[in-house]
């Protein structure tokens, strides 16, 4: 295990290095002279030279890369052209809200996807299976921004069942202000017992979380169905049948646990998708997370901010994959023996 751990950690570090390098390349791909872009078209040659010297634009590319890495490590993720604040600070404030939204979406996806996948596997080839396959394919084919707009229009604007936008009713900030611990509103409201903000946030969370959940729920249902069908055709399922266990018991109590292993790695993959899909959802529901920040950055061509979000999400994705690989040892005793 330690050996496998070290190998896996080394791999993750290598990928992170590559992620940083690729982000660097993207930020240097800005068309035209970055010095002109910064100093403005009317800058004098002297001013341009000064800008170049200040940002090290005359240095060889590898020196620039070195500076870039040094800045990142020391916490200087450049300054947003749009908010005029350090990008890292902006990310720090926006991230918890995204985590809250994506977390809620993934919980819904897992809670809905797994039983539905089991149902399809139990009645494979019959009507429940057919409808689950069809529904899950629809769920993964939905354009998130459109689904977000549709749910918002129907259930918030027209029917008025849910709030239209935002994270919670901002009037509550004065009547029952929230003490911040983790910056995740739901969690903070829960631990400080701030019920008005908690209920308001949960009500605001329903629609965007459902939109975020659609894609992962579909993928999880498909994956659970496929792996359960595979597991149910294994020798051990035959023995369990010969021992008199019901088909449903075999699926839920025997086959589901080994089948959860691929689902777990899927969740890491889907986590990244959910964050990025969450961008569009946040923009529609005006959710104060990374996505809204990124979409604002995109519309104002705020390259440092976009690069910062990209880097953060990619690094988190690498980390999530690492954690999942290590978790597999807990779920599947065979992986521990490797």
Partner 1 sequence: MSALPEAAPLRRTLPRVTDRFALAGAVLIALIALAALLAPWLAPHPPDEVDPFAALRPPDAAHWFGTDAAGRDVLTRVLYGGRTSLFIAVTVLAVSATTGVLLGVVAGYAGGWVRDVIMRITDVFLAFPALLLSVALAVVLQPSVTTVIVAIAVTWWPWYARLSASMAASIATRPYVDAARCLGVPAPMIILRHVLPNSLTPVLVQVSLDGGGVILTAAALSYLGLGAQEPTAEWGLMVEQGQSLFTTNWWVVTFPGLAILLTAFAFNVLGEGLRNALDPRRIVK
Partner 2 sequence: MIEVRDLRVSYGGRVVAKVPELDVAPGECVAIVGESGSGKSTTLLALLGLTEGAEVGGRIRVAGVDVTSASPAELRAIRGARVALVMQSPQAALSPTLRLGTLMRRALRLHGVGDAERVMAEAVEAVLLDPAILRRYPHEVSGGQAQRFAIALAIALGAEAILADEPTSALDVTVQAEVVAVLRTLCAERGLALLLVSHDLALVSTIAHRVLVMRAGEVVESGPAGRVLSEPSHPYTRELLEALP
3-state secondary structure of 171: coil
Out of partner 1, partner 2, none, what residue 153 binds, judged by CB under 5 to 8 A for its kind, is partner 1
Out of partner 1, partner 2, none, what residue 239 binds, judged by CB under 5 to 8 A for its kind, is partner 2
Using the rule CB under 8 A, is 160 a contact of partner 1? no
Out of partner 1, partner 2, none, what residue 21 binds, judged by CB under 5 to 8 A for its kind, is partner 1
Using the rule CB under 8 A, is 251 a contact of partner 2? no
CA torsion sign, 188 to 193 to 197 to 203? Answer: positive
CA distances to 149, 171, 211, 304 from 146, in Å: 5, 29, 10, 28
Number of residues counted as binding partner 2 (CB under 8 A): 22
Out of partner 1, partner 2, none, what residue 200 binds, judged by CB under 5 to 8 A for its kind, is none
Judged by CB under 8 A, which of 65, 149, 203, 206 binds partner 1? 149
Using the rule CB under 8 A, is 275 a contact of partner 1? yes
199 vs 191: CA distance, rounded Å: 13
Judged by CB under 8 A, which of 38, 55, 245, 273 binds partner 2? 245
Judged by CB under 8 A, which of 272, 323, 326, 327 binds partner 1? 272
First to last CA, the chain: 7
For the bound state, the minimum distance from the C-beta of residue 121 to partner 2, rounded and expressed in Å, comes to 14
For the bound state, the minimum distance from the C-beta of residue 150 to partner 2, rounded and expressed in Å, comes to 41
For 5, other C-beta atoms within 10 Å of its C-beta total 13
**Residue in 257, 269, 259 with CA at minimum distance from that of residue 223:** 259
Residue 86 pairs with which residues in a beta bridge?
Answer: 79
Largest CA distance in the chain: 87
CA distances to 23, 227, 240, 283 from 246, in Å: 53, 18, 9, 48
Residues with Cβ within 8 Å of 1's Cβ and at least 6 positions away in sequence, in order, are 329, 336, 338
Task: Tell me, residue by residue from 216 to 235, as one string, x for binding to partner 2 by CB under 8 A and - for no binding.
Answer: ------------------xx
**Residue in 292, 270, 154, 153 with CA at minimum distance from that of residue 215:** 270
**Among residues 288 and 291, whose Cβ is nearest to partner 1?**
291
**Among residues 169 and 332, whose Cβ is nearest to partner 2?**
332
Which range of residues in 160-168, 202-210, 221-229, 255-263 is near partner 2 by CB under 8 A? 255-263
Residues that bind partner 2 (CB under 8 A): 234-236, 238-246, 253-255, 257-258, 331-334, 337
């Amino acid at each position: 295990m330690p050996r496998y751990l070290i190998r896996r950690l080394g791999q993750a570090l290598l990928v992170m290095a590559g992620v940083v390098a690729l982000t660097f390349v993207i930020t240097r791909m800005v068309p035209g002279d970055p010095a002109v872009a910064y100093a403005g078209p009317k800058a004098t040659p002297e001013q341009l030279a000064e800008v170049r010297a200040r940002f090290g634009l005359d240095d060889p590319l590898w020196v620039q890369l070195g500076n870039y890495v040094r800045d990142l490590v020391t916490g200087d993720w450049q300054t947003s052209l749009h908010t005029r604040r350090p990008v890292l600070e902006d990310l720090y404030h926006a991230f918890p809200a995204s985590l809250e939204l994506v977390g809620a979406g993934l919980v819904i996806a897992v809670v809905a996807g797994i039983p539905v996948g089991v149902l399809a596997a139990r009645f494979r080839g019959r009507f429940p299976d057919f409808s689950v396959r069809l529904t899950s394919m629809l769920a993964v084919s939905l354009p998130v921004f459109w689904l977000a707009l549709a749910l918002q229009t129907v259930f918030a604007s027209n029917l008025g069942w849910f709030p239209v936008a935002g994270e919670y009713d901002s009037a509550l900030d004065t009547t029952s202000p929230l003490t911040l611990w983790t910056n995740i509103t739901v969690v903070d409201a829960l631990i400080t017992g701030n019920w008005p903000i908690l209920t308001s946030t949960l009500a605001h969370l329903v629609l965007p979380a459902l939109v975020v959940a659609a894609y992962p729920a579909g993928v999880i249902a498909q994956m659970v169905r496929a792996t359960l069908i595979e597991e149910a055709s294994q020798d051990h399922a035959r023995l369990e049948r010969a021992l008199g266990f019901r088909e449903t018991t075999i699926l839920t109590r025997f086959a589901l646990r080994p089948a959860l292993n691929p689902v777990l790695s899927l969740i890491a993959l889907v986590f990244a998708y959910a964050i990025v899909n969450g961008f569009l959802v946040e923009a529609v529901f005006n959710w104060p997370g990374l996505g809204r920040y990124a979409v604002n950055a995109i519309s104002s061509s705020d390259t440092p901010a976009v690069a910062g979000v990209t880097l953060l999400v990619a690094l988190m994705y690498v980390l999530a994959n690492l954690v999942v690989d290590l978790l597999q040892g807990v779920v599947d005793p065979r992986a521990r023996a490797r």
